[in-house]
Amino acid sequence: MNRLTGFVLTDEPAQVEGDMTLQGYPFFAGSMTLEKEFDLERTDSAARYFLTFPACEATVIGINVNGTDLSPLFASPWEADVTPWLRPGSNKICLTLTNTLRNLLGPHHHKGGEFTEVRPVTFRAGEDVSNTMTGEPVGECDWYDARLKGRAALWRDAYHIIPSGLLAAPEIRRER
């Protein structure tokens, strides 16, 4: 979970690496395509090559290798066999990462940060309503007034958001 205490509007970055929420896209909801070109000196015809994602925060990963769309990934293991599409010399991989509406819609301001469930009560700010699973307080009905009067016990002005993007670089693993 990330915590933002403020933000400013700026021009879009020319390059994005890692957690997109910390690089100008804290409330982005949708798909973003990332590209990488690389050279392979040779390929081993007796080996299989797998594109793996050691740390990726996306709901769906679309993969295109050298102009061919592969089946999208949406569950573990986060890897795809790319053997037939890799070639000696120049290669290009395009990844389309699709995230959820969580960072766009929230809730963003609960002092406890990320919830395991989101429902209308999680958007409230004080202590008079409890989480059905844990019994912990999650909100009060008059959150706006309570916040203005300094009585919002569970509200924080900082934004709590979840990471989105490639948190570690994808890898190509060779197996014999």
Q: Is the predicted pLDDT of residue 65 greater than 70, yes or no?
A: yes
Q: Is the predicted pLDDT of residue 170 greater than 60, yes or no?
A: yes
Highest mean pLDDT among 13-22, 103-112, 151-160: 13-22
pLDDT at residue 30, rounded to an integer: 95
Phi first, then psi: give them for residue 108, nearest 5 degrees. Answer: -110, -20
The pLDDT tens digits of the residues spanning 109-120 come to: 777 777 777 777
Tell me which residue of 110, 108, 106 sits closest to 153, measured CA to CA: 110
Q: Is the predicted pLDDT of residue 149 greater than 70, yes or no?
A: yes
Question: How far lies 34's CA from each of 16, 37, 148, in Å?
Answer: 8, 11, 42
Q: Is the predicted pLDDT of residue 132 greater than 80, yes or no?
A: no
Tell me which residue of 125, 103, 127, 75 sits closest to 1, measured CA to CA: 103
SS3 20: helix
Q: What is the mean pLDDT of residues 50-71?
A: 97
SS3 171: strand
**What amino acid occupies position 81?**
D
- pTM score, whole prediction: 0.80
Q: Is the predicted pLDDT of residue 130 greater than 60, yes or no?
A: no
Is 171:82 a contact under the CB 8 Å cutoff? Answer: no
Q: What percent of the chain has pLDDT over 70?
A: 85
Report CA Rg, the chain.
21
Which structural domains are found in the chain, ordered by start?
2-9+17-101+163-175 (2.60.120.260), 110-156 (no CATH)
